[in-house]
Amino acid sequence: MRRSLLSVLIFVSCQTLTNSIGRTREIMVVSGSEEVFDSLSQAIQMTYYTPRREDKYQFIRVDAEKLPKILKFHMIILADPLPGTEVGEVISNLLSPKAESIVRHDRFGVFQTRNQWATHQKIMIVTAWDDSMLLKGIAMNKRRIRKLVNNHFYERIAAETFAVGEDKNKEEYLLKRYNYRIRIPTGYLLEEKFSDKGFIYLHRHNPDRSIFISKVQKPESLTIDWLLDQRDLLTLLYYEGDFAYRDLCFGGWTEINGKDVFKIYGVWQNDSIGAGGPFVTICYPEADYCYLVDGIVFAPGKKKITYLTSVEAIVSSFIHLDTYDQSAIIPFIGGVSWVTQN
């Protein structure tokens, strides 16, 4: 590595950190190999229909000598073999001896750290002992690599969503009246005209985003078809007749706050007004009933994944207090603790 590059990295690491920069969907990939860049980009990329096809991420390849120019970027992936490359020397300078020994032993490793050169920054290291092992390792670990990137994307959008402030009055009102909590960013309005039917919703404009909450009887078997049927019925009765376009819906079981939930992503449409957009629905099952919490985006002419992730952060904050051990709930504070791992 050229002494000037190493000197810059050491100098910046010793300075008071400033906030990271860059659009959340943009990822800087520092690699000397076009093949590694392509392999990594393909492993991470996700495509949604909103209803138009929309890629979640934009990848920008950066050569090692230009690394000092992007040190403040929020998401940087360093990807090259450990020995014999300039990027590898940067990686070696960042890895602990234990981490480097893992690469020597396993021939491949994925590591992450945060706030290396800026606050709210994530650095991911994808490395191996040679080119072939690096490409093979990316292929074999693509789900894990994608999950780490997705987590950073979600956390960053969630932090931005609630950074505008929260409407504590509405949050406390919903808690007292309905016995559940949901985090409400400043600017959302509450509509209760169907509250006697167990249906309320929150909404805001520019662009239009809506969140509805409803309580329904739990089925013997909770499936994606049942959940979409329930969603279609609720929106038909209480929300302008929107319905889910089934061919573009997908989902399954996941976990939120230690509780199993059923989450669906999809596309809604409304033929009467010629409108459509993405949605996310989370079903929170209890003993005899379920809470359905749904987030909708309508943003013609705009990229929608960021808005969808923002409403997902709100929908994911829902907690029905009758069945939760409140001492086990970990509140979202805009970040997580990172540990270096292979």
CATH number among 3.40.1000.10, 3.30.930.10, 3.90.1170.50, 3.40.630.10, domain 165-328: 3.40.1000.10
Q: Which residue has the tokens 């499936």?
A: 223
Instruction: State the pLDDT at residue 327.
Output: 43
Q: Rounded CA gap, 105 and 174, in Å?
A: 54
102: tokens are 């893992």
Residues contacting residue 220 through CB under 8 Å, at least 6 positions apart: none
Residue 17 pLDDT level (bands cut at 50, 70, 90) = confident
Residue range 154-176: average pLDDT? 96
Instruction: State the pLDDT at residue 15.
Output: 66
Instruction: State the pLDDT at residue 89.
Output: 87
| CA-CA-CA-CA torsion sign (69, 159, 200, 266) | positive
Lowest mean pLDDT among 13-17, 80-84, 142-146, 160-164: 13-17
Q: Rounded CA gap, 139 and 2, in Å?
A: 31
Q: Rounded CA gap, 152 and 244, in Å?
A: 28
Residue 9 pLDDT level (bands cut at 50, 70, 90) = low
The ranges assigned to domains in the chain are: 3-160, 165-328
pTM of the model: 0.87
Over 60: is that where the pLDDT of 238 sits?
yes
Residues contacting residue 150 through CB under 8 Å, at least 6 positions apart: 46
Give the CB-side neighbour count of residue 177, counting CA atoms within 13 A.
13
Residue 310 pLDDT level (bands cut at 50, 70, 90) = very high
Residue range 117-134: average pLDDT? 94
Mean pLDDT of the chain: 89
Q: What percent of the chain has pLDDT over 90?
A: 74
Residue 240 pLDDT level (bands cut at 50, 70, 90) = confident
Q: Are 277 and 267 in contact (CB under 8 A)?
A: yes
Q: Are 110 and 164 in contact (CB under 8 A)?
A: no
Residue range 203-223: average pLDDT? 94
Over 90: is that where the pLDDT of 314 sits?
yes
Q: Rounded CA gap, 127 and 106, in Å?
A: 11
Instruction: State the pLDDT at residue 336.
Output: 30
Over 90: is that where the pLDDT of 287 sits?
no
Q: Are 281 and 263 in contact (CB under 8 A)?
A: yes
Over 60: is that where the pLDDT of 199 sits?
yes
* Domain 3-160 CATH assignment equals 3.30.379: yes
Over 50: is that where the pLDDT of 298 sits?
yes
Over 60: is that where the pLDDT of 140 sits?
yes
Strands (E), the chain: 26-30, 47-49, 53-55, 58-62, 75-79, 108-114, 122-128, 180-181, 189-191, 199-204, 208-217, 243-244, 250-256, 259-270, 275-285, 289-298, 319-320
Instruction: State the pLDDT at residue 93.
Output: 86
Over 50: is that where the pLDDT of 333 sits?
no
